[in-house]
Each structure stands twice: as C-alpha cells, then as structure tokens.
Structure 1
Amino acid sequence: MFKAVKQVFFSSGLQTPQFTTPEKQPKDYEERTYEAAKWVSTTVSGTSLDESMRTGFRRLFSYIQGNNTDKVKVEMTAPVTCHVDPGAGPACETNFTVSFYIPEEHRDAPPQPSNPNVFVEQRDEFTAYVRSYGGFSDETLVRNELLKLTESLRRDGVRFAERPYYFAGYDSPFKLVNRRNEVWLLQQKESTNT
C-alpha cells in the first residue's frame, strides 16, 4: 500500500500511454495521436467536475489497491483522465468518466473490477489537441484553458469536436510545484460519403 500511496503523491516515473506527434507543432498546443490502450474507468453523473474527479479517483484507487477479482495491486499510472460529456443545459447532469491507464504488465489481461461501478475499457487510437498548463487545476481553470485551446484551433483552421472533452491531471494533490495539467479536444473525424 505504501508504494501505491507514494506513487500517487510523487508522480514522476509513472507509466503513461504512448503517443506520437507530428514533427512540426504549433506553439500554444500540441497534436498527439494516442495508441490503442486499455483503461480502468468509472462514470460519475453530476454537475461538478471537481467532486466527480474525487469520487472517481477513490473508486479507481481502490481497484489498483486490490479491489479486483484477482486481488492484485496494480501500479499507479499517469495521467488521470476525465472524459467530460456535458449535459444539455446549465443545470443538467454531466457524465464524467474518470480513468487510469492500465500499465503494460496488465495490458493483455487486466484484473476485472470487483466494484460494479468500475469497468475496463479499450480505447481505440485517437488524435487529440492538447493544451498544457501548471498549478492546481479546478473547474474554472479547465473551462478557461479549454476556451484558449478552442480559440487556437479555430485560428489555425483545425477541425475538432467541441464535445466531449478531456481533462488530464498528472500530479498528486501533495505536489506543490511544477504541476502538469492538460485539456484535450479530439480531432473531428472525416465523414465518409459512399
């Protein structure tokens, strides 16, 4: 348990999902193509990103601590992502899917969750436009950084999907400096006419 807690508190050296980038990148965001990978996830419905992240994190941390059918501990990874699918109106519930990347040693056969609210998902390859920022993130900062990313993509004539979006956090709440957060918008898929 101490090792997992230490990994959460000091996130350097954690496994991360693999991605590639084009050689030429804009100065204020990054284009990344993530390889297909497995993630352990949980969906929380509500109106607050911050509270949903806390609830989702607790469920997933329990999973990596051995609350799974194999009773095995799973290494902590980074980032913790939150797939945000906004509700239709200001007071409507939003679906927040919080996820941990499954590390390589469990990629082929991840332990199945014991909690019915936790599930293993296969994410296909995808391309995201990523804006990075520091400090302690919260819902307001996420919205502001998303707005900046949207403006940059529109400026550059990039096709992207405005919803859903991702928030990604790389650090424990106990890391005070050099924090890393990201917002991701997905590349809009080309429509095929047959």
Structure 2
Amino acid sequence: MKNISLYCLAAAAMALSFLFEQAPSTATSASAPVHAEASFLSGFSLDEEEKPAAAASDSAAYDYYGQALGLRLARTENTTLLRTVLDWMGTPYRYGSNSKKGTDCSGFVTRVFKEVYGITLQRSSRSMFQSVKRVDKDEMETGDLVFFRRGPGQPIYHVGIYLKDGKFAHSATNGGVMVSSLNQAYYHRNFYAAGRVATN
C-alpha cells in the first residue's frame, strides 16, 4: 500500500512537471498582465488525501524555476516573482520602454513589481534608490533591488532585481532581460548598493 502511494505521488509530480514545462509557450501578451498564483492547484479545493499532490506540484515548480533561472532555491522564495521574471526573459532592451516588445532596466523592474506585488515604483533607477531601505550586500533577499554606478560620486545608472546565489534579473543594453551574476567583473566593479521595497 505504501508503494502504491509513492507511485501515485511520483506520477502526479511528473504530470505537473510536464504541464509546467509547457507554460512558457503559452505566455501572455505584453498587454495582458500576469496574475499571481500560489501553486498549480490554487484553483482547486483539496481533500486531506490530495494534499501530498499539491506539495508535489509546488516542488515541481521550484525545480523548474531553479533550473530555468540557474538558481539553487530553498523552496521558500516567492514563486510568483520567479515565474514573472521568467516570463520576461529574452525581452529585448529598449530605452524608455516597459513592455514585452522592449524594456529598459527601470521599466522591467517597475513592471515586475506592479505585476507581482501591486506596487508602483518610481520610473528611474535613481528615484527608486531614494525610496528603498538600504540592506547590506550579504543580507540581500530574493526581491531586493540592486543598484549600479560607474565609480564614486557617479549617478546610479542601472537597477535589477536580486534573485539568489549572487544572481539578479535585469534588462541589459547588450542582451535585454537576462539573469547575470554580481560576481561578473563588470557588475562586481559597478555594484553600488542594495535596497528593499516595503511590500506590505
């Protein structure tokens, strides 16, 4: 009986993983905002016996996001944030824009925060910096903002969203929306500060 339960859980996880892998091909258009969802089964009412399958779906989601974004997830991160970032991946860079046809760095950050948290941020990276709570680099959490400048006394010119493992999502002039590492020489040299937006 125990083996049958394990087989059922494994089958459910595989089915959900397959469904999840199809998600990027059905991404919403630039004009349709992405809606938050707690898990794949958020629209269903679960009986006590079905709850392990829900846990399996959450596990499959974290596995997928971790692999797609190159992160080692603790399975406590905001899945809506991870999914929204993934939906924007590959969007080309376009100065002054904030749509999936093209976006600059602050446009990307403002759209993600609006879609995930319902928060309207200032449109420029410098203005965003004025409204965040500073956090130490070694205390950054998923969803914090990372700011860059080209040396002491220079203005902030770039912003991204911290994910995990020293990696952040941003819209770069040389590739659009992507995940980069703070350990890359360019970003390590120009990193200025991290800040946290109050989300509640």
- Interval containing the TM-score (normalised by the shorter chain): under 0.3
After TM superposition, the score normalised by the length of structure 2 is 0.23
After TM superposition, the score normalised by the length of structure 1 is 0.24
Larger radius of gyration: 2
